[in-house]
Amino acid sequence: MTMLKLALLGDAAACAASGLLLAGGAGLLAAPLGLPEALLRGAGLFLIPWACLVALAGLSAAPRRGAVLAIIVLNALWVLDSLLLAAGTFGLAPSHLGQAFILVQAAVAGGFTALQILALRRAAVAA
């Protein structure tokens, strides 16, 4: 399996796990994270189908460059929004645990994004 496929499938697995946690556990997580339940549930409900789309790209015989670039851009936007959310920029004040949770998610998304960029470059050089 290529590095690009592994990066996409790892990203999909992480998104699916986060999505299920947030969608299913929003009520339990809201108070400790200092974030609205609706925001957590909405993020989870976004991540579940997103994970499916990323997995489809990773499972294809040859992931399309345009699809991978779109995934990279949307992941980068997720990281940026996460950093802004953790900083309280959106008028929300996550708890310290909430900030840590958000930053860990941003770091994971950023890591997969970096791997996807590297893999896409390697694939272009090999071609």
Q: What whole-number distance in Å separates Cα of residue 102 and Cα of residue 67?
A: 26
Is the separation of the CB atoms in 43 and 29 below 8 Å?
no
Q: Taking the model in full, what pTM does it have?
A: 0.92
Q: What whole-number distance in Å separates Cα of residue 119 and Cα of residue 34?
A: 37
Structure confidence at residue 127 (pLDDT) = 63
Q: Torsions phi, psi of 9, nearest 5?
A: -70, -35
By three-state DSSP, how is residue 61 classified? coil
Q: Provide the residue ranges of all domains of the chain, joining segments of one domain with +.
A: 3-126
Q: What whole-number distance in Å separates Cα of residue 81 and Cα of residue 60?
A: 29
Retrieve residue 20's tokens.
């299920």
Retrieve residue 121's tokens.
């470059």
DSSP state of 65: H
**Below-50 pLDDT ranges, the chain:** none
Place of tokens 């997580």: 29
